[in-house]
């Protein structure tokens, strides 16, 4: 009886042993050693690529697998590097696959949690960890986020010309080559010193109206005011155009006060595209719960990486809000945004800065970024390579310089400071 009892205990263990060996033999990419892969080094690369700086972050592991991330806090790269250096002190030796747990530890293990600097640092690390896990498991990052929900990613492009005939020409060209959604630029936004918002409202409204008349009602038209207006100015601008001229207005006012947006909503029916500056789901919370925004301009390189972005997307889905990711940086941000866009159900368009009228910005330097997402017409095909699908010439990257850049400090005619 004792022998029979012993066999009953041992038999399942023997079966599990053979089954596990069989499975791991079939799937060599999934091994026990990779599940305990540990972070061994974190390297920051603040470099100028094209016309702007990019802060790239490389996370290395003791298994030789590494991942790339990017911070979105442009103009404050040195502050983010400082935060990453603090985090690195205790991240070394941590298990690279425990992305969700590490996110909580990065966010919670300090008294002064949150804020844009810390979340920009967390974002870069989180994206790099997803890249590592995807490469180790030999799957694209979107598979780690629930799997692919679309075969390609629709994008929206931006005209570079100020309001006028050239802006209409650019918008017409974008429509002819395939873009079904685009963003126009306001008058006066090219200035580096003097900016008086009300002086530009009528001019911008006039040419937005003319663009709509020229392009017809099918194309999606929006405008980005870069939070330069007050509630009264934003309302005045919207009211100068016929209803239906714009399909969205992006960041018309600053976002610190959600009730200010609620006040603006009473004065205009143009949908709001908000959120590129939000650092965490908690900043999105009042805008989602109070149904203030209609498009979520989430930035995966600022909000807390892919881990936090997926939580925001689910929250937005419950309020029928589509994601419209902010993507003004380089190929790593584009790749991370692409995988995010592929995995969520509630998605509208991904921003691109690689159209014919913004290629000169040079953010996608193909000599540095050997493998990166590439536009096919007005869409981005979904990547199938493991991880983010990014390959970087690190030797060339190391030769790039960081150039100090400060956003313009704009003043009104009376000498007072206004928003950039």
Instruction: State the DSSP H helix or E strand holding residue 28, giving kind and residue range, or none if neither.
Output: none
What pLDDT shows up at residue 247?
98
Residue 256 has pLDDT above 50, yes or no: yes
Residue 97 has pLDDT above 70, yes or no: yes
240 and 329, same domain (yes or no):
yes
- 186 within a domain of the structure (yes/no): yes
Residue 388 has pLDDT above 50, yes or no: yes
pLDDT, mean of residues 301-315: 98
Average pLDDT, the chain: 92
For residue 3, what pLDDT band results from cuts at 50, 70 and 90? very low
For residue 383, what pLDDT band results from cuts at 50, 70 and 90? confident
Residue 22 has pLDDT above 50, yes or no: no
pLDDT, mean of residues 115-141: 98
Under a CB-based contact definition with an 8 Å cutoff, are residues 45 and 397 in contact?
yes
For residue 17, what pLDDT band results from cuts at 50, 70 and 90? very low
182 and 215, same domain (yes or no):
yes
196 and 272, same domain (yes or no):
yes
Under a CB-based contact definition with an 8 Å cutoff, are residues 42 and 102 in contact?
no
- 13 within a domain of the structure (yes/no): no
pLDDT, mean of residues 74-84: 96
Of 289, 357, 294, 300, nearest to 325 by C-alpha is: 300
* Per-residue pLDDT tens over the stretch 368-379: 999 999 999 999
Q: Is 232 helix (H, G, I), strand (E, B) or coil?
A: helix
Q: What is the CATH number of the domain that holds 244?
A: 3.20.20.120
Determine the straight-line distance between the first and last CA of the chain, rounded to whole angstroms.
83
Residue 82 has pLDDT above 60, yes or no: yes
For residue 226, what pLDDT band results from cuts at 50, 70 and 90? very high
Question: Residue 365: which domain range?
Answer: 143-385
What pLDDT shows up at residue 40?
98
Rounded to an integer, what distance in angstroms lies between the CA atom of residue 342 and that of residue 148? Answer: 5
Residue 324 has pLDDT above 80, yes or no: yes
158 and 235, same domain (yes or no):
yes
What pLDDT shows up at residue 362?
85
What pLDDT shows up at residue 35?
58
Under a CB-based contact definition with an 8 Å cutoff, are residues 304 and 279 in contact?
yes
Between 31 and 45, the more confident residue is 45
186 and 314, same domain (yes or no):
yes
- The domain boundary residue, chosen from 105, 140, 175: 140
Q: What is the CATH number of the domain that holds 69?
A: 3.30.390.10
Residue 194 has pLDDT above 70, yes or no: yes
Between 135 and 26, the more confident residue is 135
- 234 within a domain of the structure (yes/no): yes
* Per-residue pLDDT tens over the stretch 139-190: 999 999 999 999 999 999 999 999 999 999 999 999 999 999 999 999 999 8
Output b/e per residue, 237-249; b: 16+ Cβ within 10 A.
Answer: bbebbeeebbbbb
Between 15 and 319, the more confident residue is 319
- In the chain, what percentage of residues exceed pLDDT 90? 88
pTM of the prediction?
A: 0.91
**Going along 356-398, which residue ranges are E strands?**
369-371, 379-381, 391-392
DSSP 8-state code for residue 180: S
381 and 258, same domain (yes or no):
yes
What pLDDT shows up at residue 26?
38
Dihedral, CA atoms, 347, 350, 351, 352, nearest 10 degrees? Answer: -160
369 and 257, same domain (yes or no):
yes
Residue 57 has pLDDT above 90, yes or no: yes
What pLDDT shows up at residue 1?
46
Instruction: State the DSSP H helix or E strand holding residue 351, giving kind and residue range, or none if neither.
Output: strand 350-351
Between 194 and 33, the more confident residue is 194
73 and 184, same domain (yes or no):
no
* Per-residue pLDDT tens over the stretch 281-290: 999 999 999 9
pLDDT, mean of residues 33-37: 67
| Domains held by the chain: number | 2
């Amino acid at each position: 009886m004792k022998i029979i009892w012993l066999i009953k205990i041992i038999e399942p263990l023997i079966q599990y042993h053979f089954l596990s060996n069989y499975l791991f033999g079939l799937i060599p990419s999934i091994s026990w050693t990779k599940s305990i892969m540990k972070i061994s080094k974190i390297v920051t690369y603040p470099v100028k690529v094209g016309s702007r700086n990019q802060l790239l972050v490389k996370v290395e592991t003791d298994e030789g697998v590494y991942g790339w991330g990017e911070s979105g806090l442009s103009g404050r790269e040195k502050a983010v590097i400082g935060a990453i250096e603090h985090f690195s002190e205790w991240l070394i030796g941590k298990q690279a696959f425990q992305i969700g747990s590490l996110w909580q530890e990065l966010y919670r293990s300090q008294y002064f949690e949150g804020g844009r600097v810390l979340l920009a640092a967390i974002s870069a690390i989180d994206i790099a960890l997803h890249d590592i896990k995807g490469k180790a498991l030999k799957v694209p990052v979107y598979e780690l986020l629930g799997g692919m929900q679309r075969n390609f990613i629709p994008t929206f492009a931006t005209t570079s010309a100020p309001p006028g005939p050239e802006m209409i020409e650019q918008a017409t060209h974008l429509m002819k080559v395939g873009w079904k959604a685009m963003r126009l630029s306001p008058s006066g936004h090219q200035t580096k010193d003097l900016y008086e918002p009300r002086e530009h409202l009528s001019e911008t409204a006039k040419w937005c109206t003319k663009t709509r008349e020229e392009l017809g009602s099918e194309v999606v038209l929006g405008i980005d005011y870069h939070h330069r207006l007050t509630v009264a100015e934003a309302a005045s601008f919207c009211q100068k155009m016929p209803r239906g001229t714009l399909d969205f207005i992006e960041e018309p006012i600053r976002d610190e006060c959600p009730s200010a947006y609620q006040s603006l909503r009473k004065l205009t029916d143009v949908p709001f595209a908000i959120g590129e500056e939000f650092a965490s789901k908690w900043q999105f919370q009042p805008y989602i719960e109070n149904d203030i925004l209609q498009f979520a301009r989430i930035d995966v390189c600022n909000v807390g990486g892919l881990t936090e972005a997926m939580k925001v997307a689910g929250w937005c889905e419950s309020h029928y809000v589509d994601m419209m990711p902010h993507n003004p940086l380089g190929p790593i941000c584009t790749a991370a945004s692409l995988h995010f866009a592929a995995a969520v159900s509630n998605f509208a368009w991904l921003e691109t800065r690689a159209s014919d009228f913004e290629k000169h910005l040079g953010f996608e330097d193909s000599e540095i970024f050997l493998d990166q997402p590439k536009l096919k017409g007005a869409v981005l095909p979904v990547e199938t390579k493991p991880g983010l699908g990014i390959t970087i010439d690190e030797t060339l990257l190391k030769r790039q310089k960081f150039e100090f850049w400060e956003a313009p400090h704009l003043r009104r005619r009376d000498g007072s400071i206004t928003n950039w």
